[in-house]
Structure 1
Amino acid sequence: MTLTLSQAEYHRITVAEGVALNVAVAGSGPAVVLLHGFPETHVMWRHVVANLAADHTVIVPDLRGYGASDKPAEKDEDTYSKRVMAADIIEAARVLGHEKFALAGHDRGALVAIRAALDHPEVVTHLLSLDVLPTLDMWDILRGVDARVAWHLYLMAQPAGIAEPMIEATADTFFASFIDGWVSTPEAIPEEYRAEYLRASRGAVTSIVADYRASAGVDLRHDREDRDAGRTLAMPVMVIQQDWGVQLGFDARALWGAWAKDLDHRTLAAGHFMAEEDPAAIIAAIRELLGR
């Protein structure tokens, strides 16, 4: 059985030719869009939605290629570029009647959110990024033996047809290694949600790999073009991360500062799935950001 947000209404919204997103909508008021990460679905935001829906319209899609959203075949490098995935989100919100909104993303969803904020500053009013670096910086800081923490990035960066059959052969083991290895409080992801994430990911191997492959190619190029042009994030930005910069020998705040002038950068003593592990802290942070 597919898990849903009990307080939400569900919509299937066509955002591009042949692509429709599964979108949950809850509450009323100013719009906030929440984008999930890997290897999860939109229900990772369940605690946050329950709070924000009291005074906001909360829009929570499954990303293109994930969950119950469409998973188009990878026709070219743009099919799963963050630019195209960001355009999906802009269009979904527009169809729902929102020309402007605050945007929060975790993991892969944060990369989509960053691209949406860079490409559509007239639409994204506030940006929250949970536990990632921008694509350009991510690849720059991974080097030597320390890069083994991101081994999956290199696997899924390979040409089509290499990683996919490897992952499909051991899908549950592959995806569970991230769910179980990246959470510091396992009870934060109850068994029914863990099973949901495994089920959804098992059925989306090809599109998930395509999403990651784009980050080693077209997404990286788009970030470099923005950096060369001096393009930065125009809106208030909050970044919350684990303190893994210390372990990998880089200054995350400084890296983010090159992208966002109005930056609030924080670390949180939680695992990677912080919206589930410490939802109170994430809710408080979003509400604080919205007040800026």
Structure 2
Amino acid sequence: MEERDGSVAQLSDEELIAAIARLKREKNAVILAHYYQYSEIQDLADFIGDSLELSRRAQETAADVIVFCGVHFMAETAKILNPSKRVLIPDVNAGCSLADSAPADEYRRVREELRHQYPNHVAITYINCSAEVKALSDIICTSSNAERIIRSVPEDVPILFAPDRNLGKYLQRKTGRPMILWNGTCIVHQSFSIRRIEEQRAEHPDAELIAHPECEDAVLERADFIGSTSALLRYVTTSPRQTFIVATEPGIIHQMKKAAPSKHFIAALPEQEGCRCSECPYMKLNTL
């Protein structure tokens, strides 16, 4: 990004924040930030939330421009909900490993095959997918509302759930509904190591393990609480425990510390030592 008088790389964080505030006023823009963004982006955002919350905010805003600090599919979703508005994303390379696991051509092929075997099947697709895949789906869900949506489908109707395999398996256990699962995963939630998490629990025996349902079975089976990012944030404010091991992208910890400043939050560790694998490389492409 270039300003008229030179590169923004020469500006301090304070100058960048002031420039962002000025441009926001001039363009009548609103800044939406996902919980996994850098803390400095969360702090200057007008609204912070998970995919569902931010989608709702995008629908409600009176701003002319929506700056979506998240990944590509989120900005696409905001544009779908607000076709007349201009939607910007700070870095167009901010993709998503989960969305990439379900290419539209492959998804279309699988649905065509399933129509022969299960003519009345329903395709429920997690919001972490491309606009093309959304258009090929019957229902779009988030981790916040997926269980309710699955329970609403008649029991004699087969369900294809895509693209997150781990979330799909978790929902099968919660609802008792067998589903056809797409074999996709999130590189962040797939990285957590139950071996290293158990070591963390041994060091902090009073800590609760809280996890996002995109984590693998081994992590979810040992978790004290499982929920979407918003559910995890609400939980830490109400739990009597003072220490939490957080098995999701660590950007959420910034909001947890704000919501419960007296409590202690520990980022769950990935399998590979010395690796920042639990940080989403795509979310972290967005900077001031």
Q: TM-score range by the shorter chain?
A: 0.3 to 0.5
TM-score by length of 1: 0.32
TM-score by length of 2: 0.32
Higher relative contact order (CA 8 A, sep 6+): 1
Larger Rg: 2
- The structure whose residues are more often helix, as a share, is 1
